[in-house]
Structure 1
């Protein structure tokens, strides 16, 4: 292994919000050549300084050719991506000789004692890590909790907020604390990680080989989020319609909706499970050692992040386009 940092980084999904944050932060270091794999018909704009290789995701040869010579592959996929796409990408990366792959697994860390019934995400996390190992590459995954901006802006099935209508559903008492991260913090984490020497020194990239890089931005409850919205919007509780629902009911309702083909039911199950008092992984920053210090991540301002969410809502942001 080299004592220099990784130089050649490929990203699947660099036109998306999280993939774009990764790409932009990596380019800003000046240490990496960043290549985005994009579909032939994609019209989406890439961050400045990112190279593009157009591929056919249904053609393994196309993927292998695009990934040859890359040292690190970051995969970010839409929630609506075909379920077998991740495995096809990692298989092609393995055949192309990519030594490191960051799988599309950015939620909470996987419980080392096994997956609990309420945890509807960890099984897919394990599957995607196994995709990497089955391909013969080394995995490095980035548990960062829920993305703060996404979760707060998406609507009621996620963090319980409908900001435009000034409505919120508190799960249980609304005071359960979660560990969450902003998109920018995730981008800085990737840039910090890949700016480390690959090996030979401490800290190094090799320290995280086949392991996790645990980061966060905030430890917050729904109550904290509403208070932040009050400071940004100039509102009070009197301006909001506040309702309450148990986490257990949230999960059950989500399961019923999902059984009817209603996609938001999955969000209710996922987020309801995170707010269960028994779920210790959802506030991992309160109990586990973070890599924030090693990666030089700053302490962020909650209200600044909330203000970005408000701006997104006012600009009619659509998470699924």
Structure 2
């Protein structure tokens, strides 16, 4: 592997979270990285870090602690809740520049952030764009945006707000005709150089599916028939507008519906594979098993599991 493709020291924010925990697991599994978890000084998350991960406790009100935590790091990976204060990420970016961190993987990990209409409608575009701009303006680091689509098992298992499935009462809600396809997510060691992705988005995807494709997978793995289910249809636009109204009124519980329903619009925004292409083969990513992932999703839905 070329030196430009191999980094040793990696710092990660959100190491025990929904996204970060999987990234840490993969990094440790490669056996080539020194992983440091950046955590708040008053957080107990450092106590649950896996063996081999160092903890760097910081105070976000004291930027010098962030700089100290990032000294000597080659990559900063940010995995924070989508509703975290944007200024927190900007503080990390400024600290990374001061510490001469070469690469920043900002808080992307989902929808296509290059689609401005989509990003702005789901209320995430402004903060993400500001983060990328600050990285470029400071000129010390480069950003790499990882676009994966939504996480299939979590999303299908979450309930009606996301992909439309409610396992316990055997109800499936199709948005419009249920045929709109979207990419839904993976990570493995590959051959390309990191330098080739400076200030660019990288698109990866596990599956390209419509809701009806998902429904067919659920029928296969559960042994149920379509007649066992109550099928409903709803307008995607109306779902989005209803959720938008709730969110603007202060009801954050409607945010998943806003986020997912907008991605099912028929403008193709969820199918980034068709518009941008994907880097699965270049990165050496493995083929994944849809039915195995669907079993996990059904189990999560049945148990009522949500995000962390």
Give the alignment's TM-score, normalised by structure 1: 0.87
> 2:138 matched to 1:149?
no
Secondary structure of the equivalent of 2:39?
A: strand
1:277 aligned residue (266, 270, 274): 266
Q: Secondary structure at the match of 2:246?
A: helix
Q: Give the gaps of 5 or more residues in structure 1.
A: 197-202
1:142 CA drift (Å): 0.3
Could you tell me which residue of structure 1 aligns to residue 51 of structure 2?
48
Q: 1:131 to 1:155 in 2, by over 3 A?
A: farther
Are residue 70 (structure 1) and residue 58 (structure 2) matched?
no
- Rate the CA distance shift 1:102–1:149 in 2: closer, same or farther, 3 A: same
Pairwise CA RMSD: 2.2
The yes-or-no answer on 1:227 pairing with 2:216 is: yes
Which of 157, 176, 182 pairs up with 1:178? 182
Q: Deviations over 1:198-227 (max 9, x none)?
A: xxxxx3111101111110000011111112
Q: Does 1:247 align with 2:236?
A: yes
**Runs of 5+ consecutive residues of structure 2 not aligned to the other structure:** none
Describe the SS at the equivalent of 1:292: coil
The normalised TM-score by structure 2 is: 0.90
**After the TM superposition, which of the residue ranges 161-170 and 221-230 deviates more from structure 2?**
161-170
1:25 aligns with 2:29: no
Is this contact kept in 2: 1:230–1:236, CA < 8 A?
yes
Name which of 134, 137, 142 aligns with 1:138.
142
1:123 Cα offset (Å):
3.7
CA contact (8 A) 1:118 1:273 kept: no
Report the more deviating stretch, 1-10 or 292-301. 1-10
Number of residues paired by the alignment?
Answer: 303
In structure 2, the CA distance between the partners of 1:245 and 1:150, relative to structure 1 (3 Å rule), is: same
Greater CA deviation, 51-60 or 298-307?
51-60
Deviations 1:168-215 (A, max 9, x none): 21100111110110xxx1xx15xx26xx5xxxxxx3111101111110
Counterpart CA distance in 1 for 2:52 and 2:303 is: 26
Contact 2:175 2:235 in 1 (8 A): yes
Mean Cα displacement is larger for which, 209-218 or 157-166? Answer: 157-166
Tell me if structure 1 keeps the 8 A contact 2:161–2:257.
Answer: yes
C-alpha separation between the residues in 2 aligned to 1:4 and 1:222?
37
Q: 1:163 aligns with which of 163, 167, 186?
A: 167
What is the CA-CA distance between 1:69 and the residue it aligns to? 0.5
Task: Name the structure 2 match of 1:289.
Answer: 277
| SS of alignment partner, residue 208 of structure 2 | strand
**Residue deviations 1:91-128 (CA, integer Å, cap 9, x gap):** 1111111111000012233346x536974244443233
Q: Note closer, same or farther for the CA distance 1:86–1:3 as it changes in structure 2 (3 Å cut).
A: closer
